[in-house]
Amino acid sequence: MWNVVGVAKETYTASLGEGVVPRPLMMRLVRGELVGLIWVRPLKVGQDVLAGIAELANIAAAAGADEVVFAWETHDVATACELPIVGPAPCLNMVLATRDGHVLHQFPYSEQLLSRSPEGWASVAPDWRPAPAPQPGGELVPAIQAAVNFSFTPIELDHPDPFGVTVVLMEEDGYRISLTEAFAR
């Protein structure tokens, strides 16, 4: 499972090098197998962020996921949710959640400036610092906590393919979804 950490760090490194902080991401697992990835839709600061991140849970619930992994950047989500920054920043956070609880993993980093565009955008390289010990039941920002809670709440849809229809509806709302071959439509 924790090869997911390496993939997340590589994704963050590549995105930060392009001057972009990746949007919050959820990975769903069913019986230990990755179902796919979903990135949050474009969001407006404030309540829309809470709703948009919490809605990530719809795919997990529709797929009958037994595990989910959420990844987000401390400063980015706190700022978008209009919350104080709690914990290390900058920091890639990952939470592994099941019906029985969650464990928060934090991967702090410092930023090494690579370049700055004429518009002022900075490309940086993360210098990964030592990670603190995993935190069983660690405190999560409200948007992530809501997504964790809703991930294991069954979705009742009167449709022959609730998972497929959920994927289509979420893609129409702007979520970027990448399914594994076993779960692709």
Positions of E strands within the chain: 25-30, 33-39, 67-73, 91-98, 101-116, 122-128, 135-136, 176-179
User: Are residues 166 and 62 in contact, defined by beta-carbon separation less than 8 angstroms?
Assistant: yes
User: Are residues 106 and 130 in contact, defined by beta-carbon separation less than 8 angstroms?
Assistant: no
Distance CA 148, CA 88 (A): 21
Question: What predicted TM-score, i.e. pTM, was given to this entire model?
Answer: 0.86
Give the pLDDT confidence score for residue 101 in this predicted structure: 96
User: Are residues 114 and 123 in contact, defined by beta-carbon separation less than 8 angstroms?
Assistant: yes
User: Are residues 51 and 40 in contact, defined by beta-carbon separation less than 8 angstroms?
Assistant: no
Per-residue pLDDT of the chain (185 residues; tens, 9 = 90+): 457 788 788 888 888 888 888 888 888 777 777 777 888 888 888 888 889 999 989 888 888 888 999 999 998 888 888 888 888 889 999 999 999 999 999 999 998 888 888 887 888 889 999 999 999 999 999 999 999 999 988 887 788 888 888 889 899 999 998 887 655 54
What are the tokens at 71? 């990844």
CA 38, 39, 42, 45: dihedral to nearest 10 degrees?
A: 120
